[in-house]
Amino acid sequence: MFKMLLQNVLLGAALGLAAITHAQVPVPAPPSIGASSYILVDFHSQTALAERDSEAPVEPASITKLMTSYIAFREIARGNLNLDDEVVVSEKAWRTAGSRMFIEVGNRVRGEDLLKGIIIQSGNDASVAIAEHIAGDEQVFASMMNEAAAQLGMTGTHYTNATGLPDPAMVTTARDSALLARALISEFPDFYSWYSEREFTFGGIRQHNRNRLLWRDPSVDGLKTGHTSSAGYCLVTSASREGMRLISVVMGTDSEDARASASQALLNYGFRFFETYQLYDAGLELSRERLWKGRSDDLALGIEEDLFVTVQRGRYDELNASMELPGQLLAPVAEGEVLGELVIRLDGEMVASRPLVALAAVEEAGFFGRTSDGLRLWLGGLFGND
């Protein structure tokens, strides 16, 4: 109903949302948590609901392995890696310090087992093994990680290895970690379910997922923990309740329990005081506008991406939508050509926007059509008509 009402607004009707009522919930300040930096983001709208020093550079620790698995999933999608590939374990991978999957040098390990060893057991040995298998060398793999980070807009991140073991040049931010988590969930939904698995057994050794929220909160379904003595205890996690998905990132807490409690507090805060709505579908005709000098007299306009907004609970019916277009639309028009902007506002402040594009191409009219429309436009200019 909201989509239709907003569409009516765009067509010039009044915003009549009286039939949709929600009790407004005052939004308090975010919870006070013991983390060096954090961020809470809505997955669909990408709105930050709470944050502190979210762009401050921090040591990523094993949060790094989110990118290691992202690269592996991307290579699978490209046909360059197979889950059944037998990966030969190098001595370097076998000797890698820190958390381990306990693979043995010279053994052949299935790609799927290595990935689960990375995701569930946080195996540094598995991370190096998969990096060497994909790129031939861990440093080359790190270059692939940095290239992917740049493509995702992770401007505060730099990788030097596939594990997250301490390195002065290795850095990320809470905001970048949320961007990466969102990319993993949206681009690789089939693999994302692995992040919710509570344990994995390899070589007769059973290890548990270190994300305690998988046991505490049934709405939590991933992603990754991290810890070194210098980075503290970190956690990137996601939860979904009633169609609303949130991503929380906490960096630099004092203990495993502290990172879990801080993440839980942020998630509870977001779900309690905010709500997310999909206002428009990609490709939906939002308006049909007059088109001049074309083979058609009108043009359908819409957006190319679904539009979600996240607002304080109870303020849904205060949203206002408008279309910002040039005074006249002239042919020819290419499909997908940007012709204006759809803007959603609350209290006069923009909360979301999308480019308005042509949903179909319209060719330029013939000589007589162009001449006729040109004359009408000229006369309209003289007499103040459209």
What strand order describes the sheet that includes 329-330?
320-324, 338-346, 349-358, 298-302, 287-292, 329-330
Let me know the angle formed at the C-alpha of 315 by 349 and 244, rounded to the nearest 5 degrees: 100
Tokens of 197: 């698995």
Which of these CATH numbers, 3.40.1190.20, 3.40.50.300, 1.20.1730.10, 3.40.710.10, describes 37-274? 3.40.710.10
Q: Which residue has the higher pLDDT, 294 or 199?
A: 199
Q: Which residue has the higher pLDDT, 37 or 291?
A: 37
**Digit-coded pLDDT (tens) for 171-214:** 999 999 999 999 999 999 999 999 999 999 999 999 999 999 99
pLDDT score, position 329:
81
Cα of 357 vs its chain's centroid, Å = 23
Let me know the angle formed at the C-alpha of 52 by 49 and 57, rounded to the nearest 5 degrees: 125
Tell me the residue ranges of DSSP E strands in the chain: 37-42, 48-52, 86-88, 108-110, 199-202, 205-208, 220-228, 232-241, 244-253, 274-280, 287-292, 298-302, 307-312, 320-324, 329-330, 338-346, 349-358
* 3-class state of residue 348 by DSSP: coil
Is position 62 annotated as part of the catalytic site? Answer: yes
> What confidence category does residue 277 fall into, taking pLDDT thresholds of 50, 70 and 90?
very high
Instruction: Find the catalytic residue in 37, 54, 69, 122.
Output: 122
**Digit-coded pLDDT (tens) for 83-104:** 999 999 999 999 999 999 999 9
Is position 90 annotated as part of the catalytic site? Answer: no
Instruction: Find the catalytic residue in 65, 116, 224, 293.
Output: 65
Instruction: Find the catalytic residue in 37, 45, 62, 238.
Output: 62
pLDDT of 132 over the 90 cut: yes
Domain boundaries, the chain: 2-20+281-383, 37-274
Which of these CATH numbers, 2.40.30.10, 1.20.200.10, 1.10.10.10, 2.60.410.10, describes 2-20+281-383? 2.60.410.10
pLDDT of 129 over the 90 cut: yes
Is position 3 annotated as part of the catalytic site? Answer: no
**Digit-coded pLDDT (tens) for 313-347:** 989 889 999 988 887 787 788 998 898 999 999 98
